[in-house]
Homo-oligomer: A and B are copies of this chain.
Amino acid sequence: MVFQVDLNSDMGESFGAYTIGCDSDVIKQVTSANIACGWHAGDPQVLDNSIAMAKERGVAIGAHPGYPDLLGFGRRNLNVTQDEEYVYVLYQLGAFFAFAKKHGMEIQHLKAHGAMYNMAGKDIRLAIAICKAVKDFDPQIILLGLAGSKLIEAAKEIGLRSASEVFADRAYEEDGSLVDRAKPGAMVNDEDLCISRVVRMVKEGKVEAITGKDIAVKTDSICVHGDGPQALAFTTRIREALTTKGVRLVNFGSFVE
């Protein structure tokens, strides 16, 4: 049996004179890049450069839209309507497309950012709005969302392909949702444990929930971070562990159905 998984990371979140993230290092680690579209972060020049960088490294690209809250980096819940959610995603997806087209790149996926991701993960109406915007624009684009969340459910309902992502350093509830960060035990701090959990999620499709019970978790992609040397080193360890265990690292566009 062949095991394969994608590694995705957020990129292109610099803005004007401001630089954030270690994009030129991260791009060497991942198979899919989520690139900011200029609302919660990013700007047209950053967008242009980020897609060029992904193309050069053979990394698949996805639009990474967020809320119009640059001051909060799109991380703060904003009480938008379903219609607003739809047009916000469509607008950013179109802008992203223009740069992908310029570089002759296909859009593999769309992944909502921050509060947009979290809110839609729990609210089917917002999740539907996102999926509908994607499908109306191009039904070949894959929705990347939290495994087991409303985003994945909405993609199925709308008739859009989806890729389920997992987190190496987060604990899971029995229902497959992430343990709230405010709760004790929400973060898995032991790196060795993180890595063995990731390998098991990929090879067995299972993870031990915070209650101790094993649960199923669909694992098309692992979300990794590139915001510093520690994050990059951890990603390197994940890559090595997976490769050693015979897992092929490849963008999910090549295998999700």
Contacts and interface: CB of A to CB of B under 8 A. Distances in A.
A70 interface: yes
Interface residues of A, number: 44
B48 A87 contact: yes
Copy total for this chain: 4
Nearest to A137: B98
Contact of A15 (B18, B69, B84, B88): B18
Interface string A1-37: 0000000000000011111100000000000000000
Interface in A21-75: 38, 41, 43-45, 47-48, 68-73, 75
A79 B76 contact: yes
Interface of A: 15-20, 38, 41, 43-45, 47-48, 68-73, 75-80, 83-84, 87-88, 90-99, 101-102, 115, 136-137
Given A16-B72, A90-B102, A97-B98, 9 more contacts: A15-B18, A18-B18, A44-B87, A72-B80, A79-B115, A90-B99, A94-B94, A94-B95, A102-B137
A16 B137 contact: no
Contacts of A96: 94
A99 B90 CA distance: 7
Nearest to A90: B98
A48 to B, nearest CB: 6
Contacts of A94: 94-99, 101
A29 B18 CA distance: 23
Contacts of A101: 94, 136-137
